[in-house]
Structure 1
Amino acid sequence: MASSLRKRIEELLQEHAPLLQKAFLEGVKDLRSNANLRLIVAALERNDIDGAIKSLNLDPAAFRAFDRALTAAFDSGGIAATAYISSQAVRSGIAAVFRFNARDPRAESWLLDHSSTMITRILDDQRVMVRNILSAGLREGSNPRTIALSLTGRINRATGVREGGAIGLTSMQEKYARTALAELTSGDPALMRNYLTRGRRDKRSDRAVLAAIRNGEGLSLTDAEAIVGRYRSGLLNLRGETIARLEAKAALHQSEHESFLQAVGTGQVNQSDVQRTWRHVGNLHPREQHISMDGQTVGLEEPFTAPDGTKLMYPCDPDAPVSHTANCHCQVDTTIDFIGALAREEAA
C-alpha cells in the first residue's frame, strides 16, 4: 500500500534530519574557526567593511559535509521508493526489476543545482547580515575587536571552539539577538522581562536577569554579551533544525518522485497508470491551504495546486515559496495501477 512508502519516507526523515543539522552546524563551525580575526580587526580599524567581509572566508566548501549528508538523504529516498515499486509489481504478478539510479543525469542535475543554490543563499544572507553588523558597529564607535568577536564568537576554553557569534544566523535572528542585548542592558524592568519570554534563550541565565530586575538595574555589557552569546547559540540550533528538516524532506520527496520517473523510463510502467495524492499531516500550526489540498490527486508529472494558485510537485518543493514549505509535515501517496496494466495487456 502507498501508506507503507509514506511511513518509510517519514522514518527516513527522522533519520536524516539530525544528520543534516549536525552537518550544517559543522559548516558554521568551519566558517567561524577559519575567519581571520586579526585581518578582520585590521580592516575595521581602516573602516574597510569589504576587507573585513573578505577576511571571514565565507567559502561554500565549508558546507561540504552538508552536501554529502543531503546526497545520502536523496539516495535513501530513491532506494526506498524503488523497493516499494518493486514490491507492488511482485504483488501484482509482474516480473519486473526496478533500481534507483542516483547517477541518472536528471537526478544528478537536480541534486547538484539544489545543493549549490541552497548553500549560495546561506552565504549571501551571511554577507548581508555581516555587513549590517559591521556598519552598525562602526557607526556606534564600537571597538573593532569587539565587533569582530560578535561575529566569530569567543573561544570556549573547555572545548576550544568559538561559540556565541553571529555567523550562521539569519539577518532576522541577529536582529533578535541585538534587541535582546539592548533589553538586558536597558535597566527597564519591562524590557528585561521581555527577554525572559524568548523561547531560545539559555534559561540558566534567568536567575541573573531576575536579580538585576529586582535590583532595578541593567546587566553590565560584559554579562549581557555572555548571555546573548548563549541566546545566539540557541537561535543557531533552531536554524539548523529548520534547514535540516526542510532540506531532508525536499531531498526525500524529490528522489521518491525521481524513482517513479525512472520506473516509467524503463518501459515497464505506463505514466498514465501512476497517480499521486496529497496527504495533509496535521501539526501545531496547520496550513488551511494544505488542509484543503488533502486528497487532491494528480498525475506523475502534474503539480499539485494550492487554493492560492501555488504549484507544488510535492510537500516542501524548493521551488515553492517559504509560506508553503517551512515546517510543512504533509506527505504524498504515489500508486501504480499494475492490475489495470495487466488487464489491458490480457485484453490486447
Structure 2
Amino acid sequence: MTFDELLQQYEPRVASAFRETIETIKSNILIKTVVERLERGDITGAIAAIQFEPEAFATLELALREAFNAGGVSFVQSLPSLVAADGTRVLFQFGVRNLEAERLIREQSSTLVTNITEDQRQALRMAFEAGLSQGKNPTATALDVIGRVNRVTGRREGGTIGLSSRQVDFITRAEENLLSGDPASMKSYLDLKTRDKRFDRSVTKAIREGRAVDAELVKRMIGRLSDNNIRLRGEMIGLEETRSALFSVRDNAIRQQIGNGKIAAQDVTKHWLHSASEHPRMQHIEMAARYKAEGVPLDQAFVASDGTLLMFPHAPGIPAKHKIGCRCRLEYRIDYIAAGLRRYRARAA
C-alpha cells in the first residue's frame, strides 16, 4: 500500500473516530444534572457532568494505532530485497510489538487525548460563562453547549462539545455579531468559511433593514456553524495525527532494520519532498530545493530557514507553523551499492 493510499484509508477513519466519540459523549449527558449545577452557579460541577474523559477516546486511539501499524508494515514491504553476506535473502520486517514502536504510538495517542480533554474543559468553561453572562437561563445555556435534539434523527445537533477553546471563542463572537444589529459586525459573519450559506439571505436582509438577526434564527445558524466546525476539527485531527503516525512509524521501521543488522545507518539518507498545497510554506519549498537531491543522514535534522530542526514532517514537538496543514513528504534512500560492496568485502575477508 502506498503512502497516499494509507492516507486515503486512515485520515477519514481517524476523523470519524473523533466525531463518533463526541457523539457518544453528547448522547450520554444528563442535561437535567448540568442545568441543576448551573442553577447553583457550579460551573465546575456542570463541566464534570459532561464526562469528557480520556477513557472515552479509546476508539480514536485504536484508529491511530491501526494507521501506525499499517504504515510500518507497508514501508518495509516497499524496501527492495537484499542478499546477505552469506548468500541468503534479507527479509525486512516491521515489529508491531517493538518497544520503541509501542512507546511512540502510545505517546502520540496519550498526548493527543490529553490535549483534547484539557482544552475541552477550558472550552466548556468559556461557553458556560459566556451564556450566563449574556443573561441566558441555565437551561438555554446548557442546550447551547450540549446541543439540541433533532426530533427527526433523535441526535443532538449544534453545541460546542468537541470544539477547541479557540473555536468556542470564534463561535461566541459570531453569535454576538449576529445579535448586535451593527452592520459591520453582522457582515463579518458572511466572511466565515464554515458558515451555512443558506442563511446568508436572512443576514443580508437584516443588515439592509438595520436590525439584528432574529434570535431564534441565530440559534439555528450557530448550531450549523458549530456542526461545521466539529467536522472541520475532526478532519484536521485526521490529517495531522495520521500523518504524524505514518511519518513516525516510517522512521521507526527503518531503525528497526538497522537495529537488526539488515542495513547500516551510514547507507541511509532521507530527503525532504514538498507537496503542493493551498497555502505552501516557503521554508518547506526551500528545504525541498536544498535537501531533495543530496538529503541528510538518518540521524541528522533538516534545518528550516528560521533555524527550526525537523527530523521529518509532522515530527513530535515541532512548532505548529511547520506542522498544521503541512503535506510535505519524506523519502528514505538506501545506498545498496555501498552495502553490497561491504558484504562482498566481508565474504572476501
Q: TM-score range by the shorter chain?
A: over 0.9
Moved more, 28-37 or 322-331: 28-37
Counterpart Cα distance in 2 of 1:304 and 1:176: 35
Residue pair 2:130, 2:172 contacting (<8 A) in 1 also: no
Q: Within 5 Å, which residues of 2 pair with 1:270-289? A: 270-289=264-283
Q: Identity of paired residues, percent?
A: 39
SS class of match (1:275)? strand
Residue deviations 1:208-257, cap 9 Å, x none?
22232333321222210111110111111111111110001011111111
- Are positions 1:154 and 2:148 aligned together? yes
Residue deviations 1:3-44, cap 9 Å, x none?
xx9xx2122112211111111111111221222211111111
Question: 1:94 Cα deviation (Å)?
Answer: 7.0
Moved more, 169-178 or 184-193: 184-193
Residue 286 of structure 2 aligns with an amino acid whose one-letter code is S
Residue 159 of structure 1 aligns with an amino acid whose one-letter code is T
Residue pair 2:157, 2:223 contacting (<8 A) in 1 also: yes
- In the superposition, the TM-score normalised over structure 1's length comes to 0.93
- Are positions 1:31 and 2:25 aligned together? yes
SS class of match (1:55)? helix
1:309 to 277, 302, 307: 307
- In the superposition, the TM-score normalised over structure 2's length comes to 0.93
Question: 1:264 Cα deviation (Å)?
Answer: 0.8
Tell me the residue number matched to 2:11: 17
> What is the aligned-residue RMSD (CA, Å)?
1.8
Counterpart Cα distance in 2 of 1:250 and 1:88: 27
Runs (5+) with no aligned partner, structure 1: none
Question: 1:147 Cα deviation (Å)?
Answer: 1.0
The alignment of Structure 1 onto Structure 2 pairs a total of residues equal to 340
Tell me the residue number matched to 2:344: 346
- Are positions 1:253 and 2:247 aligned together? yes
SS class of match (1:333)? strand
Question: 1:88 Cα deviation (Å)?
Answer: 4.4
Residue 65 of structure 2 aligns with an amino acid whose one-letter code is T
Q: Within 5 Å, which residues of 2 pair with 1:82-101? A: 82-85=76-79, 87-89=80-82, 95-101=89-95
- Are positions 1:48 and 2:42 aligned together? yes
Moved more, 323-332 or 308-317: 308-317
Tell me the residue number matched to 2:316: 318
Q: Within 5 Å, which residues of 2 pair with 1:212-291? A: 212-291=206-285
Moved more, 142-151 or 309-318: 309-318
SS class of match (2:278)? coil
- Are positions 1:62 and 2:56 aligned together? yes
Residue deviations 1:252-271, cap 9 Å, x none?
11111111011112212111
Residue deviations 1:138-191, cap 9 Å, x none?
333320011111111111112111111101111111111111112222223332
Question: 1:345 Cα deviation (Å)?
Answer: 2.2
Question: 1:61 Cα deviation (Å)?
Answer: 2.2
Question: 1:192 Cα deviation (Å)?
Answer: 2.1
Question: 1:272 Cα deviation (Å)?
Answer: 0.8
Counterpart Cα distance in 2 of 1:105 and 1:347: 33
Counterpart Cα distance in 1 of 2:214 and 2:146: 21
Runs (5+) with no aligned partner, structure 2: none
Counterpart Cα distance in 1 of 2:91 and 2:343: 18
